[in-house]
Chain A
Amino acid sequence: MQSRPDNSGYFGKYGGKFVPETLMPALSELERAYSEAIVDPKFQNEFNLLCTDYIGRPTPLYYAAQLTAKAGGATILLKREDLAHTGAHKINNALGQGLLAKRMGKKRIIAETGAGQHGVAVATVCAMLGLECIIYMGEEDIHRQASNVNRMELTGAKVIPVTSGSRTLKDAINEAIRDWVSNVQNTHYLLGSVVGPHPYPMIVRDFQSIIGQEARQQVQAIYGRLPDYLVACVGGGSNSIGLFHPFYDDKKVKFIGVEAGGKGLKSGKHSATLATGKVGVLHGTKSYLMEDEHGQIEETHSIAPGLDYPGVGPEHSFYKDSGRATYVTVSDEQALEGFKMLCDTEGIIPALESAHAIYYAAKMAKDLVKDRLIIVNLSGRGDKDLDIVTKALGMRK
């Protein structure tokens, strides 16, 4: 494990703990509990066992032959996180933190969700571990991702609509933090991305790193070498960090993070935080964010609710400045094209979030030779997006 973040929770100049005093002791408690848990073989064994038997890990590294042929260049491999239980990578972190909460004696779990994938994962894990579960979800997202709301409620979670601000992920996080401030003694905040105050960006990254660890072993077993490129979508940035992090020291492996270009960077309706943002503080962490000239957080847009967020994990900001990763953008329209392309060529319906990465990988593959290897994180499946997609494609006819 690398020594980032430092003891104060910083990745270079990004990160930290910018939270109300009420939460500071809880963050220290969480950090302590986590550092004890990860060296406890009992905790590790339980996590690993459930990763196998409950989540269904390892997820396959699938050679997408038809997509590769269609793109007409480099070889495209898909890390099939869509095949994990509940249909997205979010379950890895939800399981890890759920076990941690139980170990800490916190019986009440709160979480935010955008696309609903994290909410579903948390609700599922809470059902399995016997924990009370409250999910905050923006009203706008509740409408956009209704099937996930049903899944959360079926597994016993209480879904609370958030009506403030843009009624999306950002506002759901505000509301979850307010709940945590009010109920911190008996409640664990199960944050779903590599954002928020230290130690969250570290904890979520570590639990998601299983994606990259598996991919690294799998690609070496099948191809006898490391990949040339890793491609993943970036909202808060958990699936991408999960894939990238175990390859950090493999300097020849290039990281490409794909942000939501929405209706175009010039339109202002996008969520391309690293491409267009400035450094600031949101939700307890110092990182790039989208703000206006007065330091007010801007409303974002993406066709993919899970990318619709004005901030980004501090480790990504660190990767951007150091040049370790490159960040690009893919528009709503292009993501839909990626979505269709994967349905047509491989019979796999990707989440709209992951479709951003698919589109970019196919595009870049075209200009590369066949023996170049690209691993794309297919972070989630797209059943939840059928309403959005049919509506969007219908409108374009």
Chain B
Amino acid sequence: MSRIADVFKPGYKALIAYITAGYPGQKATIDIAQTLADGGCDIIELGIPFSDPLADGATIQKASYEALKQGVTPDTCLEMASEIRKNIATPLVFMTYYNPVLNYGLNTFCKKCVKAGIDGLIVPDLPPEEGLELETITRKNGLDLIYLLAPTSTDNRINIVASSSRGFIYLVSLTGVTGARDTLSPDLARFVERVREKTNLPLCVGFGISKAEHARQAASLADGVIIGSRLIQLIEEDATLASLKQFIYDIREELDMRKTPGGID
């Protein structure tokens, strides 16, 4: 069992947080990761910024652009990961596009990931059809390669992803790019159900989740929720990280269902 798989237990709802590594700064990233871990996040996704993030909406595009402008590279991301790993035991996952990984060299990159304490990879522009090589190498190195499914995925594709994804399956909640939304897709329940019928892997829902209410709804359907763009917005709005801390606290509370409808603990 990988450190990621260990997160998922019957009845427990996992909280997965995405941040762009190096945004707003490298030192800040270490502090943010610590805040997320202390607040009860179960997995932290560190985004390695890419110049052309075509699956991302405006918030993550901007964060990636800022991080790149400050000279963040895959190597500095590995350094940040090592630094974070010194103080926290939370599983760490790199999320990035395929080109920076390919450019680094798949073997070298995976070896360095392991050394830095990374547990898995998410590469949104690498579907299983193109992922065989990276799949083999990550497996050899004990890293989980986490694939995505979308509401448009056919039953055949759900089977392909279910048989290739490791750790969990990342369910894209909506037909679109990343970014905070006002409401969850009304089709989410049916989508999660379609995937659930075909696999026992943990299912985590991401894209568009930006409120405690969304998290509660999504968690009632799946095994975990992934929040990204909203966290970046909070980091941008409040550099003291107090708002981020409060937000994570509220989400955690929703997921653990500690809160009663009247708001009394």
A1-42 vs B, Cβ < 8 Å mask (1 yes, 0 no): 000000010000000111111111110100000000000000
Given known A280-B99, A295-B99, contact A174–B130 (CB-CB < 8 A): no
Say which one of A153-161, A176-184, A338-346 lies at the interface with B: A176-184
Q: B52, A174: Cβ atoms under 8 Å?
A: yes
Q: How far is the CA of A185 from the CA of B103 in the complex (A)?
A: 33
B137-157 vs A, Cβ < 8 Å mask (1 yes, 0 no): 000000000011111111001
Q: How far is the CA of A25 from the CA of B150 in the complex (A)?
A: 10
Does A282 interact with chain B (Cβ within 8 Å)? yes
Say which one of B54-62, B86-94, B212-220, B253-261 lies at the interface with A: B54-62
Within 8 A of B (CB), among A271-305: 278, 280-284, 289, 291, 293-297
Q: How far is the CA of A182 from the CA of B130 in the complex (A)?
A: 22
> Whole-angstrom distance from the CB of B239 to the nearest CB of chain A?
24
Q: B152, A25: Cβ atoms under 8 Å?
A: yes
> Whole-angstrom distance from the CB of B31 to the nearest CB of chain A?
24
Does B74 interact with chain A (Cβ within 8 Å)? yes
Given known A19-B127, A283-B54, contact A185–B152 (CB-CB < 8 A): yes
Given known A174-B52, A184-B152, contact A22–B99 (CB-CB < 8 A): no
Given known A20-B148, A25-B152, contact A291–B126 (CB-CB < 8 A): no
Q: How far is the CA of A182 from the CA of B58 in the complex (A)?
A: 13
Q: B177, A182: Cβ atoms under 8 Å?
A: yes
Q: B153, A281: Cβ atoms under 8 Å?
A: no
The residues of B that contact A28 with a CB separation of less than 8 Å are 154
The residues of A that contact B16 with a CB separation of less than 8 Å are none
Does A165 interact with chain B (Cβ within 8 Å)? yes
The residues of B that contact A171 with a CB separation of less than 8 Å are 52
Q: B161, A21: Cβ atoms under 8 Å?
A: yes
The residues of A that contact B104 with a CB separation of less than 8 Å are 295
Given known A26-B152, A185-B152, contact A20–B124 (CB-CB < 8 A): yes
Q: B127, A295: Cβ atoms under 8 Å?
A: no
Within 8 A of A (CB), among B15-62: 50-55, 57, 61
Does B73 interact with chain A (Cβ within 8 Å)? yes
Closest to B149 in A: A21
Q: A178, B127: Cβ atoms under 8 Å?
A: no
The residues of B that contact A164 with a CB separation of less than 8 Å are 61, 65
Q: How far is the CA of A367 from the CA of B161 in the complex (A)?
A: 57
Closest to B49 in A: A296
Does B172 interact with chain A (Cβ within 8 Å)? yes
Q: A281, B102: Cβ atoms under 8 Å?
A: yes
Given known A18-B126, A21-B172, A281-B125, contact A294–B152 (CB-CB < 8 A): no
* SS of A interface (majority): mixed
Within 8 A of A (CB), among B92-139: 97-104, 124-127, 129-130
Q: How far is the CA of A336 from the CA of B75 in the complex (A)?
A: 42
Q: A22, B98: Cβ atoms under 8 Å?
A: no
Q: A22, B51: Cβ atoms under 8 Å?
A: no
Does A170 interact with chain B (Cβ within 8 Å)? yes
Q: How far is the CA of A164 from the CA of B60 in the complex (A)?
A: 12
Q: How far is the CA of A8 from the CA of B152 in the complex (A)?
A: 20
Q: B54, A24: Cβ atoms under 8 Å?
A: no
Q: B157, A181: Cβ atoms under 8 Å?
A: no
Q: Which of A24, A177, A293, A294 contacts B127 (CB 8 A)?
A: A24
The residues of B that contact A278 with a CB separation of less than 8 Å are 103
> Whole-angstrom distance from the CB of A161 to the nearest CB of chain B?
14
The 25 listed contacts between A and B (C-beta, < 8 Å) are: A17-B127, A17-B129, A18-B125, A18-B127, A19-B125, A20-B127, A20-B150, A22-B176, A24-B127, A24-B152, A24-B153, A25-B152, A165-B51, A174-B52, A178-B54, A178-B55, A184-B175, A185-B152, A281-B99, A291-B99, A291-B103, A293-B103, A295-B104, A296-B100, A297-B51
Extra contacts, 16 of them, besides A165-B51, A165-B65, A281-B125 (Cβ < 8 A), are A19-B127, A20-B55, A20-B148, A22-B172, A24-B153, A24-B157, A25-B152, A165-B52, A182-B177, A183-B175, A185-B175, A280-B103, A291-B99, A295-B101, A296-B51, A297-B52
Q: Which 10 A-B pairs have the closest CB atoms?
A: A295-B103, A295-B100, A22-B150, A182-B176, A296-B51, A294-B73, A297-B51, A20-B55, A21-B150, A21-B148
